[in-house]
Amino acid sequence: MYKLIAVAALVASATWGTAGLAVAGTPAPPGAYAYIGYPNDGQVVQANKPFRVWFGLRYMGVAPKGVKYPNTGHHHLLIDTDLPPPDQEIPSDRNHLHFGAGETETMIQLPPGKHTLQLLMGDDMHVPHNPPVYSKKITVIAR
């Protein structure tokens, strides 16, 4: 279900970008960003009932965990939490969901209340890219 996207131009520019200086972590392609396609910011969803979350990604591709390929990563959905440290493995718990098979959507359910959702890409070792590729943090209201 994952899409593996290799864009020659991006590969070339990433190579050029790292040629002159040492960059810590897996380089992110220039301009890459993630976004949540659904739900919308401020959307009301039914509490304790599964709803779909769509992962959007531009200017980089999705690859499963453990696959080291330029300009790719896998999605992490952050629920009710802030971005973790950018130079460490993304935690794996109920607030940090890994989509290591390369999934681009999921179903979650939330208890009543206000919640936040945010996407963060991780490389083959679950470490954010440099610079980190993440979405805007959105708010959903479950009731």
What single-letter amino acid sits at 128?
Answer: P
The structure tokens listed for 55 are 């992962």
CA distance 136 to 139: 10
> Following CA atoms 71, 77, 82, 84 in sequence, which dihedral angle do they give, to the nearest 10 degrees?
-50
Closest approach of Cβ 98 to Cu ion, in Å?
Answer: 4
Closest approach of Cβ 40 to Cu ion, in Å?
Answer: 25
Using DSSP's 3-state secondary structure scheme, residue 14 falls into helix
Span of 3-11, 14-22, 28-36, 114-122 interacting with Cu ion by CB under 5 A:
114-122
Span of 16-24, 47-55, 105-113, 118-126 interacting with Cu ion by CB under 5 A:
118-126
**Residue 45 or 55 with smaller CB distance to Cu ion:** 55
CA atoms within 13 A on the CB side of 14: 23
Site for Cu ion in 12-71 (CB under 5 A): none
Q: Are strands 96-98 and 105-108 parallel, antiparallel or unpaired?
A: unpaired
The structure tokens listed for 80 are 């009710």
**Residue 65 or 141 with smaller CB distance to Cu ion:** 65
Q: Decide: is 137 part of the binding site for Cu ion (CB under 5 A).
A: no
Can you tell me which of 29, 61, 84, 122 binds Cu ion, judged by CB under 5 A? 122
In the complex, the residues that contact Cu ion under the rule CB under 5 A are 98, 122, 126
